């Protein structure tokens, strides 16, 4: 079945494709697409699931297996019978006439890559085979370096639209490419996330499934649900329907983080501010928070509040303040100096406003760190990624030797900071 994928397993001794269908109409619909994919049309066999089980019990499993469930009285049970004879590494695509979301979910949970509704649509088949193919070509098991501790980073915007997701995607890309760490990008903006979009990927249903069925989240689920951007970068993101609220106690998110810790060296979490309010436990095991700000009064106020929140709720987390979309001094609502005075700490990194680069990155479907190699805008991001992994590795060494970890949330009372803010901007009232 499609998980667990064992890298290096002899794909050469296997047929690339085999199908077992129940009727001639399905075979006719399937054959031209198999030819398009470069597979032999004779590999489309009659006999449905039963024939698949019989055949595979005495022969090697193909890389991609298409199986028609139309004649199966109990598809879930029969799929389990198939799993017993099918070798690991085979990606299974099922088809059937039953249009039932529950069946679909149960099939996916039992290891099926996709379930296509009959009569088969050519575009849907192409899409399913292409993603099955991509899955086969992307080794799924990532070996974490033996000595490197897991590095979890949460990227939080002090205000909406400050570029937190832009930074999260680029950071994840840099950690995977420049710092060579197997990295997961977990986009917790479930309705409006851009993690997958920014990497030109379809988000898939993984995150939505995880929220609906947290008990199903395990290593295998992670392997199946995460969408690969490259050999070392995978994304879990969603475009949940906006007519339905996300109902969760946060356990799914926590569980996902837990599993990602086991499967990757770094996790970058795009963490919307409201998630911090609703599910504060999400940062319990996060070593680094990247608080993204702009040089505006509102961002200063909320940076103060979020810094204070970290001090009270997650004092173990190192908070790095990154100012993004920074315009030339004359166009700033607040100068850097005043901003730093208000939040009573330094801004660690400053990323210039660069509309040309963000537009270019969007057009290419790449993170800005990839689209803008060598650009001045990207330089601070490269430093930030390196800073994060180095501090993480050092903190773990220090923990072993009993030293205090590098910079945690800053001190000072919230009230004091707010009065500081008011003093800096007389005329403006710091709101509660
Ligand atoms: N350094 C930059 N220069 C210019 N534009 C930028 C920069 N960084 C991000 N942007 C742009 O700002 C917009 C908002 O970015 P993004 O979606 O990353 O913000 P966000 O903080 O995640 O927003 P939301 O609150 O909706 O989650 C996007 O159009 C993005 O391309
Ligand atoms: Mg965002």
- pLDDT tens, N- to C-terminus, the chain (432 residues): 533 323 333 334 678 999 999 999 999 999 999 999 999 999 999 999 999 999 988 888 899 999 999 999 888 888 888 888 887 778 899 999 988 888 888 888 778 888 999 999 999 999 999 888 877 776 544 444 446 789 999 999 999 999 999 999 999 999 999 999 999 999 999 989 898 899 989 888 889 888 888 888 888 888 878 888 998 999 999 888 888 788 888 888 988 998 999 999 999 999 999 998 889 999 989 999 999 999 999 999 999 999 999 999 999 999 999 999 999 999 999 999 999 999 999 999 999 999 999 999 999 999 999 999 889 999 999 999 999 999 888 876 666 666 555 554 443 333 333 334 433 333 333 333
Specify the pLDDT at position 426.
35
Ligand 1 atom at shortest distance from the alpha carbon of 358: 31
- How many whole angstroms from its chain centre is CA 39? 32
pLDDT value at residue 5: 29
User: Which atom in ligand 1 lies closest to the alpha carbon of residue 168?
Assistant: 18
Q: What are phi and psi of 234, to 5 degrees?
A: -130, 150
Task: Indicate whether residue 355 lines ligand 1 (CB < 6 A).
Answer: yes
Please give the pLDDT value at position 397.
65
Is the CB of 157 inside a 6 Å radius of any atom of ligand 1? yes
How far is CA 365 from its chain centroid? 16
Does the pTM surpass 0.85? The reply is no
* CB distance 41 to ligand 1 below 6 Å: no
State how beta strands 227-230 and 233-236 pair.
antiparallel
Q: Quick one: pLDDT at residue 416?
A: 35
- What is the predicted pLDDT for the residue at 4? 31
pLDDT at 2: 39
Q: Are 20 and 49 in contact (CB under 8 A)?
A: yes
With a 6 Å cutoff on the Cβ, whether 358 touches ligand 1 is: yes
CA–centroid distance, residue 97 to ligand 1 (Å): 43
Looking at residue 403, its pLDDT comes to 59
CA of 155 to the centre of ligand 2 (A): 9
Task: Count CA atoms closer than 13 A to 8's CA, side-chain side.
Answer: 2
Is the CB of 324 within 6 Å of ligand 1? yes
Q: What is the largest CA-CA distance in the chain?
A: 82
Rounded Cα distance between 253 and 208, Å, is: 11
Cβ of residue 237 lying under 6 Å from some atom of ligand 1: no
pLDDT of res. 8 = 34
Q: What is the pLDDT of residue 209?
A: 85
């Amino acid at each position: 079945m499609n998980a667990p994928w064992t890298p290096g397993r002899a794909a050469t001794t296997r047929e690339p494709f085999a199908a077992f269908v129940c009727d001639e109409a399905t075979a006719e619909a399937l054959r031209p697409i198999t030819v398009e994919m470069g597979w032999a049309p004779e590999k489309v066999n009659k006999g449905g699931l039963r024939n698949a089980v019989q055949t595979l019990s005495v022969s090697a499993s193909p890389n991609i297996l298409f199986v028609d469930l139309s004649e199966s009285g109990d598809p879930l049970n029969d799929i389990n019978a198939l799993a017993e004879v099918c070798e690991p590494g085979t990606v299974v695509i099922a088809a059937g006439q039953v249009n039932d979301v529950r069946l679909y979910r149960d099939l996916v949970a039992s290891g099926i890559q996709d379930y296509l509704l009959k009569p088969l649509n050519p575009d849907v088949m192409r899409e399913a085979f292409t993603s099955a193919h991509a899955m086969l070509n992307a080794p799924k098991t990532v070996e974490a370096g033996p000595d490197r501790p897991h590095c979890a980073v949460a990227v939080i915007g002090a205000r909406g639209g400050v570029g937190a997701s832009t930074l999260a995607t680029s950071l994840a890309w840099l950690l995977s490419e420049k710092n060579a760490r197997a990295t997961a990008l977990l986009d917790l903006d479930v309705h409006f996330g851009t993690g997958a979009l920014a990497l030109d990927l379809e988000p898939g249903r993984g995150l939505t499934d995880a929220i609906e069925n947290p008990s199903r989240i395990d290593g295998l689920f992670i392997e199946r649900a995460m969408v690969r951007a490259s050999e070392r970068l995978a994304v879990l993101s969603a475009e949940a329907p906006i007519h339905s609220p996300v109902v969760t106690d946060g356990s799914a998110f926590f569980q996902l983080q837990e599993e990602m810790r086991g499967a990757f060296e770094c996790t970058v979490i795009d963490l919307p501010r409201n998630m911090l309010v609703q599910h504060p436990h999400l940062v319990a095991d996060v070593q680094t928070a990247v608080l993204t700000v702009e040089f505006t009064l509102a961002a200063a106020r909320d940076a103060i509040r979020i810094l204070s929140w970290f001090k009270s709720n997650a004092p173990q987390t190192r908070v790095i303040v990154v100012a993004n979309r920074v315009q030339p001094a004359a166009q700033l609502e607040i100068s850097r100096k005043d901003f730093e005075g208000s939040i009573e700490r330094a801004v660690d990194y400053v990323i210039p406003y660069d509309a040309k680069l963000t537009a270019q990155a969007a057009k290419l479907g790449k993170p800005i760190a990839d689209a803008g190699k060598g650009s001045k805008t990207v330089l601070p991001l490269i430093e930030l990624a390196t800073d994060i992994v180095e501090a993480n590795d050092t903190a773990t060494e220090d923990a072993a030797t009993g030293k205090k970890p590098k910079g945690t949330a800053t001190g000072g009372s919230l009230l004091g900071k707010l009065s500081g803010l008011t003093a800096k901007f007389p005329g403006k009232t710091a709101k509660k």
